[in-house]
Structures are given as C-alpha cells and as structure tokens.
C-alpha cells in the first residue's frame, strides 16, 4: 500500500499540470515575436509619406528637360541615382519603402541568368531554368537572357534570398500553381507578367537542391505568400488567375506591394488567413503606387487583422467594392484616387465583410486622409481616425489627386502594354512568346515587352500543403512544457518511492 503523502503528491501534480496546460492553451500569442513585425506601424506609414514628398520635391527642383525623375521614390531611387541601372542591378534592393523596406532579395549574391524557358522536370530542374535558380540555398539575383514565356508545370517554390528581376526582357510566367513563397524571407519579384495561373498539386516538386516532396493542392494564385516575411512585389502586371492575384496568409508580414498593374480579375488580393487566426494580427503590408485597372470586382485588398497601409494608388473602377475586411484590421488609406463604377449600389469604397451592423465594426480603425473620391465614391471611416502622430505632422500629409497620375504612370511592367489599352470588357490576349520587343540583360532600353474561383484561402484548412518547405517555418504547436511537467511527475514519483 502506498503511503498517504505519495497519493497526495501525485494528485497535486496532476491538478497543477491541468491548470498550467489550460493556461498555456488560452494564453494569447506573443505577436511581438512575429518575424520582422514593426513595433510602430504608424511611423512606417509616416516614413512612406516623407519619401514621396521628398521625391516629388526633388523632381520639382530638377531640370525641366529631365525625364528621369517622376516623383515616385522607388523608381527614382534606382533609375536616377545611377547612370546605367543594368550595370548595377542590385541597387534595386535599396529602394523599397514601407513595411517591406530592407528586403534584400538576392543582394550581394551571384547573378544567375535564366537561359532556358522550359519547366520539364519540377522534381529535378535543369541548370539554366528559372526553377533551378529559385530553389538554390544561396542568395541569387536572377535575370533573364532574353524574352521568355515560361509555362509552369507545377507551382514554383522560391527559396529565401532570391530576386526575380525581369528588367530588360519581356518575361511572362503562367501555368500551374505559379509563384509560391512559403516559410521563407527576403524575396523580390520585379518587372514580371504573371497571369492565367491554374490550381496544381499531387506532384513531386523540388524546394531546394536536396529537398523534394509531394505537394498538396494549390489554389491557382498568381503569387501565394504563406508564413513568410520581407517580401517586395514591384512593377508586375497581373491578371486572370483562378484564385487571387496575390494572397498573403498565415503570419506573413513586412510586405510591400508597389507599382503593379492589376486587371481582369475577381478576388484581387487577400491579406490574412482567417478571422480567428490570431498570428495575422502581426501582418503589416504597404500597398503603394499600384493601378487597379479594368475588369476588377473586389478585394483590393480584402484584409483580416493586421495593419494595412494603402497609399497613392489609382483605383480605376470596381464592380462590388475596393477595400474590404473582417476581424478588426487597421486600414490606413491615404492619398488614393477612387473612381466608383456607374452602378449606384456599388459606390462605397469599403465593405465590412460578414458583419451585421456598425455595432460590430464601429471600433475598427479604418481611416481615410487625402483620398480623392470620384463619380460618387465614398469611404466609410470608423474607429480612432488619424493617430496623434499624423495630427502633429500635418505638413507631412499625403499627396493626393494632384500626384496619383504621376506616381502611378509606370505601374506594371516597364514598356509593356496594359491589358486595358485598346481592349474592352474582360477581353484578354495572352503573350504568345517570340523574341520581339524588350532587350537583353545588358540592354539599357525600355524594360519589358501585356475567372472562375477556386478554393479560397479563407476556407478552413483546405489549402494547407502536404509538405512544408523552407528552413524558416514557424514552430508548430509543441508539447515541450507538457513533457517537462510529466518528467517532474516521474522524478517526484521516483523520489517518493525511494523515500518510502
């Protein structure tokens, strides 16, 4: 028979274990540990405004004959501060603004030249292909030897510290899966056409030179960002994908989406996995100088949780709404131009998704400052309005209508046709390949050349992948503490038995 004090010890340990485990399970996530999450998002937004104002001021002071300076702080950074951008391509990495500022991509790495546009073996890609370059472990600055039409057989898994630099060539990426950025960091995608992306899955795909695995089903996003940070998507032209053009979910943060041209698509951009996914509170995204063009319906973006800065974009039209959200995201809209459609029921820029009345969202911090509303557009604000930081820096207010044309004039791929030029409705003529237009990687001329809904990223666990790639995956739920407490119980039991 065991002594009374032994039974009491075991009982107390089990009770302590139960309450400790319950406390850990209900404890809120420490979101300050989300990689690259900025502790003061308003200060990042203010820095963007200062960058725009400074660049516009430099343009006004420059010679009237100068065609270099546009007032766009990103473009002026790499195009005007160097006499020949093609001889110093990696200067681009110094030019991001907003939450993605500091994204390195393949800076200080080797130049990798894509010479082969095929994608015949996703499990064992050949040297010279794009897939071979993006899976390497080392930093690489990836460029293209000539104009290319790359039709992917499966999604393209991109490893950390990579830049896809399409300047100087007309680079078109389409096919199955398109670009996947999963559990990695420091990725730059610049000057690429991305369109007609379809779902994929069930295939063996290489994620590094030594790691391959079978993938689950992808949604058919143009660019899928999953649990990643330090991402910069700049000067891309995107349209006609099965799901989203750009989706960023599962604790992704430190993202800038700038100077892109979006057209002919339903659900354009999703930021946040699910209303209940608390880690997306740390998502921080800058959306700047983009042109949202013809044939768009909604989600420009659609936000869940997080802090989203939408600044100096041109919203040509929409069919349902421009900016939507749920789960109490902070949406900071500054200096944008919103042109509402003719439909009288679709004049509102904003949409609180799946909410019953203002009692549910009245405290959500959605603010509009310096925005231009055209054709009856209106923005429904809520929450705190401008922060004290902005009220104390009125001289740094956002440049609005007078500058939107100027700041977005080169949105999309440089030199490439926009999908709504010379076309109407939802028509679209995909690139057919060939060697016309654009230049070689050494050229200094013009840079560039032109839905049904799949499963949504919001639908539970339907699009979790079967295999996790990358070396920076966030830790999964672990039972380390539980195991430690069980060991304490075992040691206590052993000690009690010895004493008995």
Q: Which pLDDT score, from 0 to 100, does residue 61 have?
A: 83
Which helix (DSSP H) or strand (DSSP E) does residue 194 occupy? strand 193-198
The region of weakest confidence among 10-19, 105-114, 179-188, 441-450 is: 441-450
User: Does the pLDDT value for residue 397 go beyond 90?
Assistant: no
Tracing tokens 């800038």 back to the chain, one arrives at 256
pLDDT of residue 14: 52
Residue with the larger pLDDT of the pair 230 and 79: 230
Rounded-to-integer distance, Cα 423 and Cα 243, Å: 23
Give me the chain's average pLDDT, please: 80
CA 71 to chain centre: 24
CA–CA gap between residue 299 and residue 292 (Å, rounded): 11
What DSSP line would sit under 430-464, residue for residue?
A: -----S-SS--TT--S-----------TTSTTTT-
Name the nearest CA neighbour of 265 among 223, 325, 231: 223
308: left (phi over 0), alpha (psi -120 to 50) or beta: beta
Distance between CA atoms of 66 and 481, rounded to whole angstroms? 64
Query: CA 186 to CA 159: how far, in whole Å?
Result: 9
Q: Active-site residue among 69, 299, 305, 337? A: 299
Question: Which pLDDT score, from 0 to 100, does residue 354 have?
Answer: 81
Band (pLDDT 50/70/90 cuts) for residue 400 is: low
Domains of the chain listed by start with CATH number: 41-408 (2.160.20.10)
Strand partners, 426: none
**Of 80-89, 128-137, 350-359, which one has max mean pLDDT?**
128-137
Would you say residue 20 has pLDDT above 80?
A: no
How far is 197 from 243, CA to CA, in rounded Å?
8
**pLDDT score of 273:** 86
Question: 28-47 pLDDT, tens per residue?
Answer: 444 445 778 899 999 999 99
- CA proximity to 112, closest of 88, 80, 136: 136
Our answer to whether residue 230 is catalytic in this structure is no
Alpha helices in 98-168 (DSSP H): 130-134
The two structure tokens encoding residue 395: 């001289």
Asked if pLDDT for residue 83 goes beyond 60, the answer is yes
Residue 442 pLDDT > 70: no
Distance separating the N- and C-terminal Cα atoms of the chain:
11
Structure tokens at 267: 């659900």
Average confidence (pLDDT) over 67-82:
87
**Mean pLDDT throughout 351-370?**
87
Q: In sequence order, which ranges of 183-293 are alpha helices (DSSP H)?
A: none
């Amino acid at each position: 028979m065991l002594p009374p004090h032994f039974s009491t010890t075991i009982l107390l340990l089990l009770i302590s274990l139960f309450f400790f485990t319950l406390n850990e399970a209900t404890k809120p996530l420490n979101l300050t540990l989300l990689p690259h999450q900025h502790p003061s998002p308003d200060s990042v937004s203010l820095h963007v405004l200062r960058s725009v104002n400074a660049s516009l001021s430099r343009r006004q002071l420059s010679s009237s004959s100068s065609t270099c300076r546009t007032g766009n702080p990103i473009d002026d950074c790499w195009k005007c501060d160097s006499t020949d951008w093609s001889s110093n391509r990696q200067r681009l990495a110094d030019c991001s603004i907003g939450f993605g500022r500091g994204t390195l991509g393949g800076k200080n790495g080797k130049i990798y030249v894509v010479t082969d546009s095929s994608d015949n073996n996703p499990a064992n890609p050949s040297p010279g292909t794009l897939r071979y370059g993006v899976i390497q472990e080392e930093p690489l600055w990836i460029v293209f030897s000539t104009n290319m039409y790359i039709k992917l057989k499966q999604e393209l898994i991109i490893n950390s510290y990579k830049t896809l630099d399409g300047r100087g060539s007309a680079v078109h990426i389409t096919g199955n899966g398109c670009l996947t950025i999963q559990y990695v960091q420091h990725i730059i995608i610049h000057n690429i056409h991305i369109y007609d992306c379809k779902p994929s899955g069930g295939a063996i795909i290489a994620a590094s030179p030594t790691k391959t695995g079978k993938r689950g089903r992808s949604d058919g996003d143009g660019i899928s960002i999953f649990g990643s940070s330090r991402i910069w998507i700049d000067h891309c032209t995107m349209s006609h994908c099965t799901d989203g053009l750009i989706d960023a979910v599962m604790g992704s943060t430190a993202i800038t989406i700038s100077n892109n041209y979006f057209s002919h698509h339903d659900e354009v951009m999703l930021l946040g996995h699910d209303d209940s996914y608390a880690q997306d509170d740390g998502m921080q995204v800058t959306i700047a100088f983009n042109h949202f063009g013809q044939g768009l319906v909604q989600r420009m973006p659609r936000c869940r949780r997080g802090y989203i800065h939408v600044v100096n974009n041109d919203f040509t039209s929409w069919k349902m709404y421009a900016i939507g959200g749920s789960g109490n995201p902070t949406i900071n809209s500054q200096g944008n131009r919103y042109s509402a459609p003719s439909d009288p029921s679709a004049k509102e820029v904003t949409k609180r998704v799946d909410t019953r009345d203002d009692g549910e969202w009245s405290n959500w911090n959605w603010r509009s400052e310096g925005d231009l509303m055209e054709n009856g557009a209106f923005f429904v604000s809520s929450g705190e309005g401008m922060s004290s930081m902005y009220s104390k820096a009125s001289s740094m207010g956002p440049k609005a209508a007078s500058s939107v044309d100027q700041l977005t004039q080169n949105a999309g791929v440089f030199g490439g046709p926009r999908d709504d030029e010379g076309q109407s409705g939802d028509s679209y003529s995909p690139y057919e390949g060939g060697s016309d237009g654009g230049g070689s990687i050494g050229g200094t001329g013009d840079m560039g050349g032109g839905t049904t809904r799949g499963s949504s990223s919001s639908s539970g666990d339907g699009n979790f992948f079967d295999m996790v790639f990358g070396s920076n995956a966030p830790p999964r739920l672990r039972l380390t503490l539980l195991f430690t407490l069980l060991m304490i119980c075992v040691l206590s039991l052993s000690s009690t038995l010895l004493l008995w």
